[in-house]
Structure 1
């Protein structure tokens, strides 16, 4: 038993060290049709109050983005049985699961799903629920892709400035349904700083399953120094029955068209704006199919400074 008592609270915890059951897990995998391995980290590992000194962790800090070493070894051991491997990840942040990406039949990111998490995961894996979630963060291939903590420039920081291919990009996600994009349009083709431009695209469910698609709109200002490579300007989650189609519109106003310059001023800058509208970012990720979507562009004809 572990007991803490401070002037504002008291905590008691029952602690024990479970035996190593890796061989039992491998034996069970050999008898199974499919292996579902739930791995990941917990708030005790990645929380700031943690005092963990396990390999890969130190006092609430993560030393890398990998799975804990015993879990990685367990995954490789059960995969060696030749049975199909489904990996369910629990975490509150990104993990570099490069090995699982190459060897697992499927990966489901469950985050910290709460009391009904088991039911939700079972519904997805059994096909009772058609998923459509999208990543709110970038999953990097390695901690090496992260900029140094002592460098406060934006170079390489977040999806907006990342030049190397990630493991899974911000906005990535899969579905049991498949979708196609067509007829991307911008109206008008030229817009003043105080005007509104509308980007539209047709989306079709090309599968035999009804499902949700998350249509994402990204903008880039290639002629502006220091501007992001691309930035999310809007998204919409739509439901389409099998073979159904819908036109999705994104009206963009002054703030949507603006950038924040190096002085911290939000401005609208004249020039070409490159548009990508689709199922995610137009980036190449290892082992992933090209993102479905379409490019288009428009031009901003005047400048303005906006109040934040």
Structure 2
């Protein structure tokens, strides 16, 4: 009876902690979205770009002042900036992200279409950078002080200080212009319907942007994994294992893999923000039709609804990545689970 009561109280306590965790995360996300919305709208308000002029385009000289006023009234641009923000916020709370001034379609539809392309790009780059970064970190840590370790560290330091757009231009010149192995840009071949494009053609257009993102992302994972592995190999329990005859990758798998996976998991999932920022530059260099390119178009065209919609979406995307990193960190490390359930 006593044992059952203790187990029941333990389950109830766990449920309460889980509930508090979920509520706390939701409050943090709501506060973050509110702050990001206010800051983004304020910055856009000071932009010298005229949204009405961007909407009209090349026909600006043919539009009368009365027509300009009608267009501004239609889009709500004739109201004060605080009122515009309140109108936009009220629509967001109702699930309406507005209509894009550039694409003349709902913002949610534009984000949905562009996000699929960006998701494929970021998923491939994120997976490659995580796998290769983790393996390179293990190799460097196991060969500490050797020429292999120095070579990997030098490679990572060079990549960490290399601008992503410059690397993209270099790969574009080498593999597309000089060698002609891959297309110069775009997500699909020009002049071909999307449903007629083969999977191989999509991969050829995706390869160079994904390679640019993954190569830059390798450095952080590799360096942190190497540093953690060096600390693990110099610990007392690993020295005791070596004294018992364990060595090589068997020693790594038995005593070091879980410990070195902690920083790799945390850093890699926390890199969603850098990944999204890198995707913006990569998509511009390779004219890849994703969210990054849409952000630049919205900023240059004064498309406030689309710009703010993408900002909110990317904020949620990065926030979810950080939450997943926290959860996986606690799943991998049992010491954290003893202190708190999540």
TM-score, normalized by the shorter chain, greater than 0.5: no
* Higher relative contact order (Cα pairs below 8 Å, separated by 6+ residues): 2
Tell me which protein shows more helix as a share of its residues.
Answer: 2
User: Which structure has more strand as a fraction of its residues?
Assistant: 1
- The normalised TM-score by structure 1 is 0.20
